[in-house]
Amino acid sequence: MEFLELKNLTKIYQKDIVAIDNINLTIHDGEFLVLLGPSGCGKTTTMRMIAGLEEVTKGDIILEGKRINDLRPKDRGVSMIFQSYAIWPHMTVFENIAYALKLKKMDKAVIKEKVLEVAKKASIIDYINRYPTQLSGGQRQRVAVARAMAVEPKLFLMDEPLSNLDAKLRVSMRTDLKEVHNELGATSIFVTHDQAEAMSLADRIVVMNTGTIEQIGSPNDIYHDSRTMFVANFIGSPSTNFIDVEIIEKGGKYFAKNDAFIFELDSKFNEGISKYIGEIVVLGVRPENFALVSNDNEKLFDLDVILIEPQGSHSIVVGKLLGKQMKIVTSKVFDLNSKGNMKVKIDGNYFIFDKNSEKRIY
Ligand SMILES: Nc1ncnc2c1ncn2[C@@H]1O[C@H](COP(=O)(O)OP(=O)(O)O)[C@@H](O)[C@H]1O
Ligand SMILES: [Mg+2]
């Protein structure tokens, strides 16, 4: 039995706003699943339906084998944390965490023990008697996490819980959240529009686009085996370079050609590419899969370099090819003002996409 299943789940707002369009998704017990996608793709809607805060238009939500569509939020065993951490300003940290337990009419001593336990796990035990105004944003967010944890939910939903924090705190809270998850073993669904956050937290990532699922996989799958242009573009920073090429065939071999270069495609593409002869397809190359070379024999094309973005551990070379911007990641260190032509080759994996469907050609 799967822990949670979304079956043909659909949400239509106001008769014709299709927020979620017939998605199917299975979540394993103990998993940390991340819903990733741009603003408006339906992440919050999905979470709210699971939590019972939004009516389902069509489809089923099945938790531990039981259809929960019609259960009230409080009967689902689901806890949700929102972007704006709603902790009560007039209660101390202790009271905030204890609140839901009191509602459950738990014994006072048991409540105290429980609160102290989760406060320790969330590293807020030192502030247990403070009010929210006496806490930093990160500490308040931990209180929200601790409060949700205290009720021991079967399922823990987090909707962009880190997005109100500054950049540095986001990164450290990320690690903390993952630790808390590992410690508690609660199944978690985490929503973000930040691909780096998704990559570092997820067991599996669900990439969403306008109410549909583009791809589901481990962070490495999604990155190295992106199935669509949308995924190749959305995941990774800088994102994948897309270059239009024509497919030509010569003596049983296939080549990708444009006005700047021609190169022979790996034979693994032979079968998929044969029906594209004479057509334009899209070559997708991640920035680190280009290499700078010094030798004319090795180069695939000259890149007209516009500027260098130093990143300390590596550099991003920004240039133009056939009028389009391209980014290359290299371990070389450059003078900031380096400009002019640099010789470039493909050195590693690349994708080929159908220009119309934007899906991978294998
Ligand atoms: N209460 C609502 N009424 C009408 N449309 C809504 C409502 N809530 C969300 N939407 C629409 O549904 C789509 C998905 O929204 P949402 O789930 O909030 O996306 P995300 O969380 O990925 O940013 C958007 O087009 C949004 O405008
Ligand atoms: Mg949202």
Is there a contact between 342 and 317 (Cβ–Cβ < 8 Å)?
yes
Determine if ligand 1 sits within 6 Å of the CB of residue 41.
yes
What CATH number does the domain located at 4-233 have? 3.40.50.300
Task: Given CATH 2.40.50.140, say whether it is the number of domain 241-354.
Answer: yes
Q: What is the pLDDT of residue 84?
A: 64
**Alpha carbon of 181 to ligand 1 centroid (Å):** 28
Sheet holding 78-81, edge to edge: 78-81, 155-159, 187-192, 32-36, 204-209, 212-217
- The two beta strands, 290-293 and 66-67, are unpaired
Handedness of CA 240, 241, 247, 248 (dihedral sign): negative
Best residue among 36, 44, 46, 83 to mutate for probing ligand 1, ranked by most atoms within 8 Å of CB? 44
Instruction: pLDDT tens for the chain, 362 residues: list them.
Output: 899 999 999 999 998 999 999 999 999 999 999 999 999 999 999 999 999 999 999 999 999 999 999 999 989 989 888 766 678 999 999 999 999 899 888 899 999 999 999 898 888 899 999 999 999 887 888 888 888 888 888 899 999 988 877 788 788 778 878 877 887 778 999 999 999 999 999 999 999 999 999 999 999 999 999 999 999 999 999 999 999 999 999 999 999 999 999 999 999 999 999 999 999 999 999 999 999 999 999 999 999 999 999 999 999 999 999 999 999 999 988 877 778 899 999 999 999 999 999 999 99
Q: Specify the pLDDT at position 146.
A: 84
pTM above 0.95, yes or no: no
Q: Is 192 in the pocket of ligand 1 (CB under 6 A)?
A: no
Least Cα distance to 282 among 214, 333, 181, 356 occurs for: 356
What are the distances in angstroms from CA 88 to CA 26, 96, 349?
34, 6, 51
Q: How many CB atoms lie within 10 A of CB 39?
A: 8
Give the sheet arrangement for strand 290-293, strand by strand.
Answer: 290-293, 340-346, 301-310, 315-321, 324-330
C-beta of 44 in contact with ligand 1 (< 6 A): yes
Q: How far apart are CA 350 and CA 30, in angstroms?
A: 34
CATH 2.40.50.140 range(s) for the chain read: 241-354
How does DSSP assign 289-305, residue by residue?
A: GEEEES-TTT-SEEEEE
Question: Encoding tokens for residue 154?
Answer: 């079967």
Partner residues linked to 205 by β-bridges: 34, 217
**Residues forming beta bridges with residue 6, ordered by sequence position:** 25, 61
How far apart are the C-alpha atoms of 189 and 209, rounded to whole Å? 17
- For CATH 3.40.50.300, the residue range(s) in the chain are 4-233
